[in-house]
Chains A and B, each alone.
Chain A
Amino acid sequence: GNSVTQMEGPVTLSEEAFLTINCTYTATGYPSLFWYVQYPGEGLQLLLKATKADDKGSNKGFEATYRKETTSFHLEKGSVQVSDSAVYFCALSHPNTGNQFYFGTGTSLTVIP
């Protein structure tokens, strides 16, 4: 079946450090892949997405590349800010399974000044 596994947290970084949050998936064919961000007390917001192999999603300095050969969609940012402190969720959806979404367990990021 479809599933997503992402790096467990919490992750604590100093401001301007490099961020990587690992995400791997299990699915047949070509699912769509997403990163969502959740700020405290709020709902989830779409951060970036990719729909086919080798696509790179990017937004607000974050990037993730759809790697079919390694079934991965790792989230990266070259220089994090305090305002990036949030919980990050990796997710996939697939039309062959009714477009159901499968979420990872979330990775909490805290950026300290």
Chain B
Amino acid sequence: DGGITQSPKYLFRKEGQNVTLSCEQNLNHDAMYWYRQDPGQGLRLIYYSQIVNDFQKGDIAEGYSVSREKKESFPLTVTSAQKNPTAFYLCASSTPRASKIAANTGELFFGEGSRLTVL
């Protein structure tokens, strides 16, 4: 079945360590996104990529890094520079809606999420 797979589902990190969250999709989507979700808050965009080998910072990119070497994969690294990394991380993908293609609504498809806890 097509979908988005995030791993690991749960991850514990000691302070000062970098960790990498995996996100793989087999939907043949061009665009991929990373969001952070904190309790009682909405989704905040960390990074996004519209095509391979290109990505842009979102609203809260500081302390995070990404790569997009393959269309299917968009890993997120939480670096030691991120001061408060404990959160629920969501990966998503979409085929962007083109203005002239009414049938393509460009909806986001989400993975199941990865919960990172800093000890």
Contacts and interface: CB of A to CB of B under 8 A. Distances in A.
Interface of A: 32, 34, 36, 41-46, 49, 51-52, 89, 91, 93, 95-96, 98-101, 103-106
Contact of A99 (B42, B106, B109, B115): B106
Which bracket fits the contact residues of B? 20 to 34
Contacts of B107: 32, 34, 46, 49
19 contacts: A32-B97, A32-B105, A34-B108, A36-B108, A41-B115, A42-B112, A43-B90, A46-B109, A49-B105, A52-B102, A89-B43, A93-B97, A95-B96, A95-B98, A95-B106, A98-B96, A101-B33, A101-B45, A103-B42
Contacts of B115: 41
Interface in B19-75: 31, 33, 41-43, 45, 48, 50
Interface in B63-117: 90, 92, 94, 96-99, 102, 105-113, 115
Contacts of B33: 101
Contacts of A36: 108, 110
A95 B110 contact: no
Given A32-B105, A105-B41, A99 B94 contact: yes
Contact of A43 (B97, B106, B113): B113
Given A43-B112, A45-B110, A99 B31 contact: yes
